[in-house]
Structure 1
């Protein structure tokens, strides 16, 4: 019996528990007394050394328990504790995080705890490290050797729980092999699994239960703890881990061997011991059992690698995933860049001829540009040579001109004097003209001033006239205002008889009251009419609905829909919704086979329907993954499309999966004909094309042969359909007459063939749908009833409307009277308005009259204007006098100007006479001068200067390279002519003309025209094309270099992949084969079939382990999923897989909680026997099996330990209940006696 403790008030608690050991060594069952945590390191021994006392008549008194608790409390007070306070996430970003536990990763939940670079306290206060940091510290783990006490390092030796979930206090020891924890529901078995996970610093989310660590403290308790003693490495003390938790706050702390520790340190220890609580393959709590089947095949492979096989499997796999992804990315990049390189090369090849034409044209253009330099230079050289010859002739003529010029000098000097006198006379004449013009300008100014003053005088005169007219208009306006006021007074004094407005208002009120009474009565009639019309419309709507339903009964689709409504209303409503919402799906959702599948020949309806079960008959089929997920989300998850929660079956498989699981038909056409089969089931149906994949992959209708004739050679048919095909071991269904044959072959041993037969039932869903006459008669009766209701409601509405007509007439009469009252009221108001308007207008006219009478007389302003007119007249008299003076001065100036003009004419005549004389004497001089100023000389001189300037301009504007070529050619020509002149002077041999361009100006012009003609023959190319060509050529060279480097890198990565794969794949195959053999053998022992396969993929991240199971003979192997199999089938598959994995596991211990839920007794017994055999072997690890139920006569092994959990505050004191030890010993003796007698 394990030690039990209760709190002071435990006698009042209904949830206190006892955890009882049934030791493998029954003779050593003694009570082990409680030891304090401070002495656990030295005194706590392995399980086989625990002292146990007999269980008979054991009495535990409450007072003794209180004393033990008090002693334990005193011993714990001096103990140092490391407490970690939980804070909000945004307050934990300081350096204290280095001492806190690791983050909880609810999403990942996978991977063993390993050393981490940095960890933080999560919301539960635990130190669970995150998955993303797992790669930073690679802790190499492996299963360590078993010690002499039977334990392997990392196995749990002892556990102690205080105020944890249902426990007040308990302490128990564990065995190194199978530990079976049994007890009724609710006693606290699963609490032990929770304690292991939380005590070893895993987050609560790993359990699938409460999310907060404080939720695990027992109700009404403030604190609690979990203490776990784990086997240490050989030669070292055990590891004692305690986790203290607080229910009032998110505070928890750890101790390691009695010393304060952080969650990070605990996680590091767990990683060193290879404890994998987060791996469902090694630790499967009760609330996570369904999660195992929910795991994807890819995740199952990764978790299996972590739990078993070569310890490097996960590292190799991660390397392959990373390198494979990198290699695919590299190959894709290389392919893209090779395509790009090919395109670039093709583009350059396409424009290469254009580039050649461009280069040829550019060469010709460079030649033309060079000629544009050489031709001006040659022309300048020729002009300069001609200029030298003409310059010598010009100097000779210059001497002759100088001699004639000296002979004619006196006459020319007198002519020069006359020219000067003429210029002076002309200047004096111009000055006098300016003076006269100035006088005239002054006269014009005085005239203009006088004209302006005259205009001002006229303006003032007009103002006087305007004053007189304004005064006259004022007097007229005053008179008119007085007349208007008199007329208004006459109108106001005129009396008009009108009614009293109060009398009219009273009549209007009385009229309004009568109208309101009539309207209220009409509203009552209106409500009655509306009710009758509404009832009529409702009856008409019901009539139309019944009429539509009656019409649908006459169509096949309508009858099918009606039958589907009667069978499964949820599916029928979803079909109606789907038909209105097909546009929301990418490829469309196919309606269930019940509606979309038709049997062409009704003779085959029974056989075809036997291939389809009820769930498959109602299954919606998606044609792509996107539509499948959307349909499930809208219909099955959100539960909103039909206004209520519903669950309808759906189906979709990827094409590669369909291709993999679809097996070809078992018999050829000739073999079918030979055996007199009519065809396969799929041949007799009509359905949408997308539905055929479902009929093949799930229903195997393309493999189910049908013969209406029962006279078929069944043995021959069994032989043909059971033949292995493309890796499939064989087996199929076929139908003869009304008998279904299910032929299967065993997957083990000699693959024996078996045939199960059953009679076919009559088709109900695929048979011809006849009209339901009972339903039709009922619909017709209901239609007559609603037709009568329509007539009744219409008559009622007509009657009410007739009663309301007198009130309508009265309402019209009241309205007419109201109109008359409004007219009379308007007449009274109109008279009041007339008087008000006249009074207001009289007031405005009086104000205007008063304003006009206040205006002063215009006499004063008239006097001011006359003063201004007198002043203007005086100014005009002064201007007239000045104008007369200026006219006299002009006459005097004109006389002097005439005298000066006569002097100018005399000098000009003398000058003309002298010029005629000089011309006669200078004829010879002029002739010599003309010869001296030779036009040709000056023309050549100017042309040579222009040519030189042009040469300089051309050289400056030319490209530096061309200018340099031109200078070299010019220098070589000069050097040649210099050497030639020197040779002619010395009489030596002239220099060589080789490599010297001596062409003349005209020859160069001809050559230039020739080059221009060639240029016209070469098509002009866009320079941008050449730039693209050159740029692309450089890019091609760069891309080739980059490609070469990337290919080398890809080869390097591929080599690393091959190296890793050569190690990983054989090790993985070996592991999976070992697990698969045990898994298949376990299924064979229970009469079922199971296989484990590796699913390969180009993407190493998509490699997977597929678990395929078959629980019935008429089924084929199917992939284990969270939906396809029942709960019991999933549980059985899970435990058999975990058992098969156990022998390969590297973890020190494993745990499964209530895995046998849903199993039948046969399966449960086989599972138990297998588990005992596996977990009690010499090399087996520690295993915890938690179960609430047991069968009689289960297999037992001396290495297994049974831990019984029972409710109660203490053990019973009565002696009559029996002695547990004696009962066990008696049972063992009885079993041994039976075994001996059987031999």
Structure 2
């Protein structure tokens, strides 16, 4: 196929398409021929390839269809639609008819061919493949009439015998033509051909036969193995069914055992309560009758307590009245403070508006002074230039210039000096009006300026201090944060491993905040496969899930936090039996390792058949309102329990 892809890509594409679309056709389509036929003897591969037209010929790339409908559909799809350059054929109605060679079957046999002409085979004898393909080649290029030989030396005798129009000897292809003009005769053309390229990889028939036989043996063995597998599968199904039945029976027995154990425990508890009641009854019977003697003293005590309670009530009433008065004063002060605060804000806004007006007036005054000085300088310059200009004039012109000068002195410019002074006086009057309205405006303004300057200095100083403190905080944070993250990572690793043992998942992380007082530890857990890791809170998880997460987190700290002992109180109260058993086993294994701190687990009840080891001790604490006056040694209670079990 690789040779076909390199030599003729269109034929390769058509073959790949045909392989994927065989179900479109009613019959078989063989092709291309080079992948359908096989040379029986590889010594003749080059001769057979040359007889079929060589690797560049069209015959080896031809597709052969069994019927006309498939021929038309294949050409329509591959040639018309896909635009591929192909050779497609259909042998037609004569495809199934036998060939009629010019020689008899006896003459065409290989034995007579060797005996009479020294040739070994016809080309068709060396090919094996689909009968339709072989027959097509016989019809088109007469491969059943082309003898071949690797050893014949007398080529002329073969050409002169008149039996063969084409024959091949060694690496030469001979074509004999009969011509009838003149006295007639024969002409033999000789063509050399290259070694086989396309058919060089044909399969060795004997080797293939051996492989086919080996494959058949392996298939028989595989069939026997499949039969054994079926038997084993059936046996496995029976064993699985039996296992299910036994498991079901085991569960029933365990249920019966638990029910019997609960009934036994209830019976023991009732028996123990009965014994306590009998003992208490006997103790009360034996106790002397001193109750009547205590009644007068108890009545006096009740009277004293009632008097004391009345005095305390009076004190509470006085204190409550004082508290109410104090609250009213506080409310009045708060209202007054709000009023003063509002008045202060109004004064601040008024001072700010007055300051703005004063700044604007000062700016206008300064601008007017600058304009006045500029105009004065310009007038003086004009006056000096006018005086200098009149010095060099003739007498008549000097008189006229004097008149103009006097007129200028009289009328002046568009804005006279007086007008300028009036404008200055007007602005000064405005400033004086502001002073008259608020005499302390300038003083307050100066005070505000000083306060602003002082506050700006303080702000700048505080900014520098803040930057220094921030740098110092960041430096200190860089010292302890990596160590904290490393420690929390170890805790998270232990916590995740502990949760994985009970079929859950979890992690521990750091909850960071700008305020270091609000930093904390975040615990994320997942108790079901279809959930994601969620933050452990008092609302999202159930009580049992919170208890499991808490105890496993504490166990994760076991190797990291050094403490002389640890105490856990009623951690198992919200757990279901499965989690309680697994958590109890982890606590026992983790707390009883060598070098571990002492661990106290306090609980009012425990499940039966829990995991225990020799490094732990069970302590029963007797405490409560109905305890007997004198407890017996624990040994006696254990003996009673053993006796009850034997019963």
Structure (1 or 2) with the greater helix fraction: 2
Structure with the greater relative contact order (CA < 8 A, sep ≥ 6): 1 or 2? 1
Is the TM value for this pair above 0.5? no
What is the TM-score of this pair, normalised by structure 2? 0.32
What is the TM-score of this pair, normalised by structure 1? 0.18
